[in-house]
Structure 1
Amino acid sequence: MSFIIREGQIADMPSVMKLIHELAVFEKLPNEVELTAEDLIRDGFSDQPKFKTFVAVENDTIIGATLFYERYSTWKGRIFHLEDLIVTKEKRGTGVGMALYKAVLQHAFDHKAKRVSWDVLSWNSPAKDFYKSTGADILEDWQVVHMTEDNLSAFLTKNN
């Protein structure tokens, strides 16, 4: 298999959106995606981009992508958050995921990050096994907390 990893470009965002939809189906949440390719272009390629992306390309077709961004830890300082690492179903197990993963980790290392963090679904054993095999720690005592747009609005309306 011959593919390359490179930084994502504006023209790649429709293909990245297809991967995002494929991931949503895999995660059993196909109706949760509100994002559009236009959102990705606006937010990722402005004067102050909100994220970076790497893509895996084989024969001019995007077969995988990562989306990540910088954060700041009160304990560590500069860190990165890997929002998603997506490989199309047909190309899983071929090294594409590892190559994308390495690209993000190399970027973080090159930018002197103290940590890279991300979330993994409790039932996604293959992903958890993969991350553990690379030396990543899965924190069992921490839980992800989300405040949805509707709940945020309700909270602020009630508490203002």
Structure 2
Amino acid sequence: MNIRRGTKNDMQAVLDLIQELAIFEKEPDAVVVTVADLERDGFGDNPLFYTFVAEVDQEIVGMALYYYRYSTWKGRTIHLEDLIVKEKMRGSGLGLALYTKVIEQGKADNVRRIEWNVLDWNTPAIDFYKKSGAKILADWDVVQMDEQGINDFLTNL
């Protein structure tokens, strides 16, 4: 197993993992991001995200994608957008290795918080996070406005 920083050349494998996650989360048609989007947004002058990839036998079988945010209470934070391990490799320790790498990055960057979302029905992930010492915030709801909502809001101003 090798955990390393993702490169521009890894973005097709990263997209494949994203699509696998969408299927797992019962949203197979929700992914609209492309390899070109990932290459542009992750590897320009001001990258919008960073990745770690997990390789086994020179095949990328997992990834963690994160980016920096700013909290008015805590300052600089990391948001872990996705941690994905191919189904055939789950239970092998790759998820823990990727998770550890993101937490080590947060420590090296002196962030005061690392945060992410987990679906309420994904009990294996919830149990893993709780066991690691993470807090599940039951009194907060995730709020999003999708593209249609953005358009509708601006149209109705």
Q: Fold match, TM over 0.5?
A: yes
- 2:21 matched residue in structure 1: 23
Structure 1 stretches of 4+ with a deviation exceeding 3 A read none
Q: Distance in 2 between matches of 1:130 and 1:36?
A: 30
Task: Please give the per-residue CA displacement for 1:29-48, whole angstroms capped at 9, x wherever unaligned.
Answer: 00000001111000000000
Structure 1 position 60, deviation (Å): 1.0
Amino acid at match of 1:50: L
Task: Please give the per-residue CA displacement for 1:22-69, whole angstroms capped at 9, x wherever unaligned.
Answer: 000000000000001111000000000000000001111000001000
Report the number of matched residues: 157
- 1:34 matched residue in structure 2: 32
- Which of 113, 118, 121 is the matching residue for 1:120? 118
Q: Distance in 1 between matches of 2:40 and 2:105?
A: 22
Instruction: Point out where structure 1 has 5 or more consecutive residues left out of the alignment.
Output: none
Instruction: Point out where structure 2 has 5 or more consecutive residues left out of the alignment.
Output: none
- Which of 36, 41, 44 is the matching residue for 1:43? 41
SS in 2 for 1:84: strand
Amino acid at match of 1:12: D
Q: What TM-score does the superposition give when structure 2 sets the normalisation length? A: 0.99
What is the 5 A alignment of 1:106-145?
106-145=104-143
Structure 1 position 131, deviation (Å): 0.2
- 2:72 matched residue in structure 1: 74
Q: Distance in 2 between matches of 1:152 and 1:36?
A: 21
Identity over aligned residues, as a percent?
A: 52
SS in 2 for 1:112: coil
Let me know the Cα RMSD of the aligned residues. Answer: 0.4
- 1:11 matched residue in structure 2: 9
Q: What TM-score does the superposition give when structure 1 sets the normalisation length? A: 0.97
Task: Please give the per-residue CA displacement for 1:108-157, whole angstroms capped at 9, x wherever unaligned.
Answer: 11000000000000000000000000000000000100100111111011
